[in-house]
A and B are shown apart, each in its own frame.
Chain A
Amino acid sequence: MERPNWAPGDVDLERPSVARVYDYWLGGAHNFAADRAVAEKALAAMPEVRTVVLNHRAFLRRAVRHLLGQGVRQFLDLGSGIPTVGNVHEIAQTADPEARVVYVDLDPVAVAHSRSLLSGNDQVSVLQADVRDAVGVLDSPEVAKQLDFDEPIGVLMIALLHFVSDEDDPWGVIGRYRDRLAPGSFLAISQAGYDEGDVESSAWGEARRIYDRQVTQSTFRGRAEFGRLFDGFELVEPGVVRVPAWHPESPADVDEAGYRFPGFAALGRKA
């Protein structure tokens, strides 16, 4: 069986990593030649890849700000990746220095980087774990140290679930997180996907093939499948929408392309 490159203990710089490729597209330099080569190849095939990535990252910012507005002060960021600019704790602690965050990622380099970046910030912990192992994550000392499960928690799965295949049962995984959350907690998800009637351009198809082959396999989910991820949550307005259309900060953020954006976002509230 092919081992996914984000398997634990894997510190192979010759192989592209999801987190570092993502960082490159965001304009960061936390990456290596192998990461940049793949990222550039995908960009060459489909320049909009960068827009897509920026939009997921912008959704993270909007979702966290929205949750802060709802009084949420605890965040569990699953699949947090390389802590580039605009991190959850930066946003949250700007609003409230007491806000607490746990970052979870499987990539040992991303985790090591996060730890060094966050050393001295007592309100934030970093956990190296497979987010699919919900029980392992929830029972970890890092989570126990930061999060109070009697109070609302914002669980974030930003640009994550297209790396979790149906065989890995994302619905079941989410259910195990959900069952531990206090009422009033939130789940924010964005992931790649097409709507019914969308036609994937050949350029997009090529970019996706490069990524699947050289970085990791992805699973796109349609609007209905995506909506089912929120089983047990009440969707916050406007429900399931294309990523740029979720509470845009400016009408200019949602141009014509925004309505054909290949990915969905939504925020759900546990009743």
Chain B
Amino acid sequence: MTERVDQRVREDRSPLDPAVLAGAEAFARSWATAVIGSSYVPMTRAEVAQHLQDLTELLVAALFASPFRTAPGYEIGSRLVDAHFTGTDTLGRTVQLLGDDLLADLGFPGDDRLTSRLAALQGALAAGYARALRERTLAEQEAIRAAVLDARDQAESMLRASEARFRAMFTEAAIGIGIADIDGRILDVNQALQDMLGFSVDEMRQYNVRDLMHPEDAGSVWRLYDQLIAGECDHYRAEKRFHRADGEQVWTHLTLSLVRDDHGEPQYQVAMIEDVTDRHLLQNRLRYQALHDPLTGLPNRALFLERLGRVFNNRAKHSRAGLCYLDLDGFKVINDSLGHDTGDQLLVEVGRRLDQSVSGEGKLVARMGGDEFVILVEGSSGEQDIVEVADRVLTALEAPIRIAGHELSVSASIGIVERQLSGTTSADLMRDADITLYWAKADGKARWALYDPERNAREVARFTLSATMPRALERGEFYVEYQPLVRLEDSTVTGVEALVRWQHPEFGRLAPDRFIELAEETGLIVPLGRWVLRKACEEARRWLEEFGDSAPFVSVNLAVRQSRDPELVRDVKQILDECALPPHHLQLELTESAIMGTADEPLEALRALCDIGVRIAIDDFGTGYSNLAYLKHLPVHELKIAGSFMEGLRAENEEDPVDSQIVATLVQLAHALSLGVTAEGVETPAQAARLLRLGCDTGQGWFFARPGPPENIDSLLRGDL
């Protein structure tokens, strides 16, 4: 029965029968579901289904083919592998699914003949699959092993190339390279290092690194070496000298590096050595050039200052030092008249003589520039040491110097400073020597001068005062005091002398003798005098308003420079105008020398002032030199007799007849010229009484009142005192 049915199927249903095709399609779908996901197949799900459908149709065709062949089964297995159905479960599931479902899906369940054909095809499929998978696996294993070999070859060839590069670098490097083990045995040195030191590799291999020690090596070089070998540091740099095979020396920059093994233990040391001998020698030459004067060959300022600094840093060695600061007298004249060439030759000879006369341990002669030289004496025992040096120098310069047919006599001025080093600085020393040189010049040249701290203090104070004076005037540090001028006859205050004072923030209250001369030197006397004049006129105006006819005039000192100021008349007029002060309330005091020694112009100014009614007084009369004949023609109203003549009139019981006679004569002289007389420095009642008796008109001095603020004058005028 089954046979018959089977026959009918084979006859009635070809593999292309739609029902069989539909069955094949259904089977292909189940197959896809069973095998998808067991390996990567580069197809979409639809493509997979189509692929398996094709295989199913091939299988169905084989199942029904006549004659029956198993080859398609083999092919199907192979094609599964080709499509990368390579997952371990693929074959098992496929074979199982074929056995379980295929015939039922095709509509021939239980057909023995087809079942046995299918079994044959399953076997072929399994064999084909296994064969293809085995081939594919072997091919892939072979491919990956080949890839490993390729990769290794590549890595090794890179390593070889890298080694070759390093070898070339070592061999060809311009810098010396040496390798030693951790015990210092030299293993290899490159050509550059062989050339540098003059030893071959074989000779170098006989050495230990420590054999390369040089007596001039800094201690740190070998201390760091020990640390490196101990693994405490990984590299260091140093300057180091080496002995060459030929006995010469090589200066080098050395960099030593530690190479560690895989466990971090020190294994090798690598030295990189750069020959800097040329640079070193050049540096030495440049340093010499930088520190020496090219003309005289003497140390220059830089070297001198360096040495001086070192003296101060070595105070433990020497506690004292001295300096001679020397400058040729009149060198500029020689330079200007005989030319720079001659001047230069002169400097060379002076330098030579200085060097000869001063040579010795601890002494340095340097040229500071121009015609200035300096001699440093380290470890002096006192000023006398330096004075001796200065004397030797002056003597050495006495002999005329012959240059290009000229016999030149030169002299020098020398400033000497010698002192204990503690408590001073090199800058102090230099400055003081410079100042002292200036003194030697000022004192007449061709000599030495010793630094004198008191002289310096005075000059510093003077300098400080003159430097601070302009600011002082702006800041209102000056003020004016007034001292009454008293008519002896009835003790009436007729005038007051204005006296300028300086309330100095540092030095306190200063009298005019401390600063008027300085003000004259600097020219500040003109604005200062103008300020005093204005101040005094303002007070005079106030007194005039308050006391009317009994108000005193103000007497204001006029310095020499002020009297020669072309603006004097204009200034005085302007101030009188501004203060609305009648001119006869102002008296100007000038010294004899200011009036007598002057040319015509200042005198005309005085005449002009006199003409408008300003009173003119001669201050300190009798201490200068007066031309008595001339006096007659001068526009003067008052003589003020200097306080020094009052000394003899001072005592109560006896008087100096000479002083007495001088004062009497001066009073007579004044009166003969129709001038008033004021006696300055009246300090005792006896003096006042005698002056009155001698006919003196006015007195001024402590007996009457000390200089004081304007309010004191107010009190006097009111009769409060």
Interface residues of chain A, those whose CB is within 8 Å of chain B, are 9, 11, 13, 20, 26-32, 50-51, 53-54, 57-58, 61, 82, 84-86, 90-91, 108-113, 115-117, 249-250, 252-253
**Nearest 4 Cβ contacts at the A-B interface:** A27-B39, A86-B42, A113-B147, A112-B150
Contact assessment for B147 and A110 in the assembled complex, using a CB-CB cutoff below 8 Å: yes
Contacts of B39 in A (CB 8 A): 26-27, 54
Tell me how far the C-beta of B675 lies from the nearest C-beta in chain A, rounded to whole angstroms: 106
In the complex, A54 Cα to B46 Cα: how many Å? 16
Does B40 lie within 8 Å of A115, measured CB to CB? no
The answer, yes or no, to whether B148 is at the interface (CB within 8 Å) is yes
Verify if B424 is at the interface (C-beta below 8 Å from A): no
How far does the Cβ of B481 sit from chain A's closest Cβ, in whole Å?
Answer: 86
* B45 close to A32 (CB less than 8 A): no
Least distance between A91 CB and chain B CB atoms (Å): 7
Given contacts A9-B158, A27-B40, A61-B42, contact A111 B143 (CB under 8 A): no
Contact between B86 and A11, CB atoms less than 8 A apart = no
Q: Please state if A13 and B148 are interface contacts (CB–CB under 8 Å).
A: yes
A57 proximity list for chain B (CB < 8 A): 40
Q: Are A249 and B86 in contact (CB under 8 A)?
A: no
- Establish whether residues B144 and A109, one from each chain, have CB atoms under 8 Å apart when the complex forms: yes
Tell whether A90 pairs with B144 under 8 Å between CB atoms, given A51-B37, A108-B151, A112-B154.
no
Question: A9: which of B44, B147, B155 is its contact (CB, 8 Å)?
Answer: B155
Q: A29-B137, A115-B150, A116-B150 are in contact. Are A84 and B144 (CB under 8 A)?
A: no
CB distance from B30 to the nearest CB of A (A): 13
Residue contact A108 to B155, C-beta cutoff 8 Å: yes
Provide 18 A-B residue pairs closer than 8 Å at the C-beta atoms, listed in order of the A residue.
A27-B38, A29-B86, A29-B140, A29-B141, A30-B140, A31-B144, A32-B144, A50-B37, A50-B38, A86-B41, A86-B42, A108-B155, A112-B148, A112-B150, A112-B151, A112-B154, A249-B44, A253-B45
Taking a contact as CB atoms under 8 Å apart, the answer to whether A27 and B42 are in contact is no
| A26-B39, A30-B140 as given contacts; A85 in contact with B148, CB under 8 Å | no
Q: Given the known A-B contacts A11-B148, A57-B40, A90-B42, are A113 and B155 also in contact in the complex, defined by CB atoms under 8 Å?
A: no
Query: Which residues of chain B are near A27, meaning CB under 8 Å?
Result: 38-40, 84, 86-87
Please name the residue on chain A nearest to B150 by beta carbon: A112
Bitwise interface map of B from 21 to 62 toward A, beta carbon under 8 Å scored 1, else 0: 000000000000000011111101110000000000000000
Across-interface contacts of A86 in B (CB, < 8 A):
40-42, 84
Inter-subunit contact B136/A29 (CB<8 Å): yes
- Interchain nearest-CB distance for B90 vs A (Å): 9
Beyond A29-B136, A30-B143, A116-B150, 10 additional pairs, beta carbon < 8 A: A11-B151, A13-B148, A20-B144, A26-B40, A27-B86, A85-B40, A108-B151, A111-B151, A112-B154, A117-B143
Separation of A249 and B146 alpha carbons in the complex (Å) = 36
Q: Which residues of chain B come closer than 8 Å to A11, judged between CB atoms?
A: 148, 151-152, 155
Q: Report how far A225 CA is from B428 CA in the complex, Å.
A: 74
Complex alpha-carbon distance, A57 and B149, angstroms: 27
Contact of A84 with B40 in the complex, beta carbons under 8 Å = yes
Which residues of A are found within 8 Å of B46, using beta-carbon distances? Answer: 249-250
Residues of B within 8 A of A31 (CB): 144
Q: What's the Cα separation between A111 and B148 when bound, in Å?
A: 10
Cβ–Cβ < 8 Å partners of B143 in chain A: 30, 113, 116-117
Please, which residue of chain A has its CB at the minimum distance from the CB of B86? Answer: A27
A169 to B148, CA, bound (A): 31
In the complex the two chains form, what is the Cα distance from A35 to B84 in whole Å? 20
Residues of A within 8 A of B147 (CB): 30, 109-110, 112-113, 116
Distance, CA A90 to CA B43, complexed state (A) = 12
Q: What is the CA–CA distance of A252 and B285 in the complex, to the nearest angstrom?
A: 91
For the complex, what is the distance from the CA of A108 to the CA of B147, rounded to whole Å? 8
Total residue contacts A-B, CB cutoff 8 A: 88
Q: How far is the CA of A109 from the CA of B151 in the complex (A)?
A: 5
B150-191 CB contact bits vs A (8 Å, 1 = yes)? 111011001000000000000000000000000000000000
Residues of B within 8 A of A113 (CB): 143-144, 146-147, 150
User: For B140, what are the chain A residues with a Cβ–Cβ distance below 8 Å?
Assistant: 28-30
The CA of A115 and the CA of B150, in the complex, are separated in Å by 10
The listed residue with most A CB atoms (<10 A of its CB), out of B37, B143, B146, B149, is B143
* Residues in B whose Cβ lies below 8 Å from that of A51: 37
CA distance A50 to B37 in the complex (A): 8
What is the chain B residue whose CB lies nearest that of A114? Answer: B147
- Pick from B38, B41, B84, B147 the residue with the most CB of A within 10 Å: B147
Q: Which residues of chain A have C-beta atoms less than 8 A from B155's C-beta?
A: 9, 11, 108
| CB-contacts of B526-565 with A (<8 A) | none
The listed residue with most A CB atoms (<10 A of its CB), out of B46, B148, B158, is: B148
Are B45's CB and A250's CB within 8 A? yes
CA distance A90 to B84 in the complex (A): 14
Interfacial chain B residues near A111, Cβ < 8 Å: 151
Chain A residues near B38: list those with CB within 8 A: 27, 50
CB distance from B157 to the nearest CB of A (A): 11
Question: Which A residues are CB-close (under 8 A) to B37?
Answer: 50-51, 54
Which residue on chain B has the smallest CB distance to residue A54? B40
Q: Which residues of A contact B87 (CB under 8 A)?
A: 27
Instruction: Give CA–CA (A32, B147) in the complex, Å.
Output: 12
Q: Mark B605-634, 1 if CB is under 8 A from A, else 0.
A: 000000000000000000000000000000
Residues of B within 8 A of A85 (CB): 40-42, 84
Shortest beta-carbon distance, B33 to chain A, in Å?
Answer: 9
**Chain B, 122-144, contact with A by CB distance < 8 Å: what is the 0/1 string?**
00000000000000110011011
CA distance A26 to B46 in the complex (A): 20
A91 to B136, CA, bound (A): 21
Bound CA span A198–B668, Å: 133
Q: How does the 8 Å CB contact mask read for B68-93 relative to A, with 1 for contact and 0 for none? A: 00000000000000001011000000
Residue of B nearest to A111 (CB): B151
Among A51, A112, A115: residue with most chain B CB under 10 A: A112
The reply to whether B84 and A252 contact each other, CB–CB distance below 8 Å, is no
Contact with A along B377-408 (1 / 0, CB 8 A): 00000000000000000000000000000000
Contact A116 B141 (CB under 8 A): no
What is the distance, in angstroms, from A128's C-beta to the closest C-beta of chain B?
Answer: 8
**Which B residues lie within 8 Å of A32 (CB)?**
144
CB distance from B42 to the nearest CB of A (A): 3
Query: Smallest distance from the beta carbon of B32 to chain A beta carbons, Å?
Result: 10
| Chain B positions within 8 Å of A90 at CB level | 42
Q: How far is the CB of B8 from chain A (nearest CB, A)?
A: 38
Q: Which residues of B contact A13 (CB under 8 A)?
A: 148
Are B151 and A28 in touch, CB under 8 angstroms?
no
Task: A110 to B143: give the CA distance in the assembly, Å.
Answer: 10
Instruction: Determine the distance from Cα of A247 to Cα of B86 in the docked complex, in whole angstroms.
Output: 26
| Chain A proximity of B701: nearest CB distance (Å) | 99
Distance in angstroms between the alpha carbons of A113 and B38 in the assembled complex? 24
Chain A residues whose C-beta falls within 8 Å of the C-beta of B136 in the assembled complex:
29
The smallest beta-carbon distance between B131 and chain A, in angstroms, is 15
Least distance between A257 CB and chain B CB atoms (Å): 11
Nearest B residue (CB) for A35: B144
Could you tell me the distance between the alpha carbons of A50 and B40 in the complex, rounded to whole angstroms?
Answer: 9
Most B CB atoms within 10 A — which of A13, A29, A54? A29
